[in-house]
Each structure stands twice: as structure tokens, then as C-alpha cells.
Amino acid sequence: MDRRGFIQSVTCATSTALASRALAQEDWTATRPIRIVASAAGGILDIVARQLADPLQRAFGQPIVVENKPGGGGIVAMVTVKNSAPDGYTLGITTFVEMTINPWLYERLPYDPINDFQPVVAIYNGQILLAAHPTFPGDSIADVIRLAKEQPGRFFYASSGVARPPHVWMERFASSAGVDLVHVPYKGAGPLVQAVLSGEVPLAMEGAPALLPHVKAGKLKALAVTGDKRLVLLPQVPTFAESGVPGIGLTWVGLVAPAGTPAAVIARLNREVVKILRQDDVKASYEQSGRTIIGNSPSEFEQLIRQELPEWREVVHRTGLRPG
């Protein structure tokens, strides 16, 4: 074979290989149930997983099983995903805490956010709501700060778990405002909501979707939301920044797979989730509850994680945040 023929044959073989790879990405599909591992039942990650389950089941023609693994500030769920086979049949719903804050909170974290997982897609940015029992003697962030300074250590707030996003942002608020609030962690949003509705604790910090129905029903009063804009459904409630405490921001939620999951599998999963997120009814639902859809690529999601890791290291060291 002459040089030209050799080059043509190599080019043809390369093109065929690339085409086969692209076809493999298009053709991969599930042949058995897929499980999505989330933390506590009733929490925001559980809600997100269940919202994705039905449309993903239609896309793949296989059952999508949501498996709750509460505990350890998200660590139990993440280790479950890490230890699963990298075949596309186990996925994990995670937040910025598990991926970018836990590495600085725990001396011996049993997973590596970069090396133990393959990012699939960042799903959304979300707002967190600070709400109070009707008997709480204040109606604003200014009141919370004043009362906490007058009586340090007297006022308790509930969150859905140690080192979960609500806990992280509330501790950052307390540090910025110079107040002493006592954290009471619960195992998920369900127990938290019951605790604040019953008056067991006066304040609750949690993802907006979990608290909104109770605020709308008049059973709780909303004091502030995180992020730089007000909630569509609670336009009268100011942000922390509007209340004089800037830097209390958004959480993000994403989908990951065990490290080593084939690129074709990741590509198909990403494509199906992004397709769901672009549906008009899904976008409207998310926006009303203070969530802004991201729907990026796996590489963009990985870049987000790598970018935020050093940023949160500085925040954790400055605020003295501890896992409990």
C-alpha cells in the first residue's frame, strides 16, 4: 500500500471509530432499573430526585427508584454512590456542600469529590428560606439580629441536618451579623417542618419548596430568602442582602455518577435530564419556588465544582464552620 493509500485507510478507520463512538453515545439505554440516591426523605434532594424519576422512567422505559440514605451531612449518600458499580444504574443527587464544603469540614472525608465521581449535570441554583413560628417575637432579619444580641444563645433554629446547605448559609449569616444562634439539626426537611410548625423550635432555615406551602397557609411567617432576588410566590419577603446581610447566596443541586462510568452513559443521562429541564412546565415550576435551572454539560459541571472548592475553603476557615 502506498503512502496516500495508507493515510486514506487510517483516516477512514478513524472516522469510522469516531462515528461508532458517537453512535454508541446515541444508542446507550438502560436495560434494568436505575436508582437515584438522595439523602433524607422529604428533603429538597429527595424532592428533586422524585421530580426527575417519572420523566426519566418514560425516557428509558425502566423503573427509576429513589433510595434515601440520610446521615452524616450527605456523606452516607455520597459513599453509597462512590461504592456502586460505574455502569449508569446508580446516580446521586448532591449539593455544593457534599462536593465543595465537606472536604474542608471533615479531616477524613471518606470520598474525594473530584476523583470518586463523574459529574452528569448541574440541575439548578436554589434559594433557601428563613421562616419562623407565628409566636416568634420578630418579623424581620433586623428583629432576629436584635433579639439574638439582646439574649445570646437563647434562640434556636432548625435545619435539615448538620452541614447541609441551610445550616451552612445560616452559620454564615450568624457570623456576618455577629450573633449567637443555636443550631438544632433534624434528619431531613420533614422532621424540621414538623418541629417549627409545632413550636418546638422558633426558626427554620430550609429550601424554599419545603417551607412555602406552610408560609402561604399562614402557619409560618417568612423572614428572608437567600440569593439576589425575591421569591416569585413571596414578593413581599426581602432577601438577606436587602435586610443588610450580603453574601448569603444560593445552593446548587446536581447529578453525579460513580467515577469510571462510561462517557456514553454520562452523555445520554445528561441529554435526557437537560431535555426534562427545558420543558416549559418544569421551568415554570422551578422558577416559582426560587430555583433557576442550570442544565449544563458534564465538563461545565466539573469546572463549577473545581472553581468553588478553593472559594469554600476560605469561607469555612473564616467562619469557623464545623460539622457538629
**Cell numbers placing 171:** 452559620
Please tell me the number of Cα atoms within 13 Å of 141 on its side-chain side.
23
Residue-level pLDDT at 253: 96
Residue-level pLDDT at 189: 84
Residue 198 has phi, psi (to 5 degrees) of -85, -10
The CATH 3.40.190.10 portion of the chain extends over 128-225
Which of 204, 301, 311 is closest to 247 using CA atoms?
Answer: 311
CATH number of 128-225: 3.40.190.10
The CATH 3.40.190.150 portion of the chain extends over 30-125+251-319
Residue-level pLDDT at 71: 83
Model's pTM, two decimal places? 0.78
Three-class HEC string of 30-46: CCCCEEEEECCCCCHHH
The CATH label, of 3.30.70.1400, 3.40.190.150, 3.40.50.300, 3.40.630.40, for the domain at 30-125+251-319 is 3.40.190.150
Residue-level pLDDT at 1: 42
Q: Are 81 and 258 in contact (CB under 8 A)?
A: yes
Residue-level pLDDT at 297: 98
Residue-level pLDDT at 25: 45
Residue-level pLDDT at 190: 87
Over its length of 324 residues, how does the chain's per-residue pLDDT go in tens digits?
443 443 444 444 444 444 444 444 456 889 999 999 998 887 788 989 999 999 999 999 999 999 999 888 889 999 999 999 999 999 999 999 999 999 999 989 999 999 999 999 999 998 999 999 999 999 999 999 999 999 999 999 999 888 888 888 998 899 899 999 999 999 888 899 999 999 999 999 998 888 999 999 999 999 999 998 999 889 999 999 999 999 898 999 999 999 999 999 999 999 999 999 999 999 988 888 778 999 999 999 999 999 999 989 988 887 778 876
DSSP 293: E
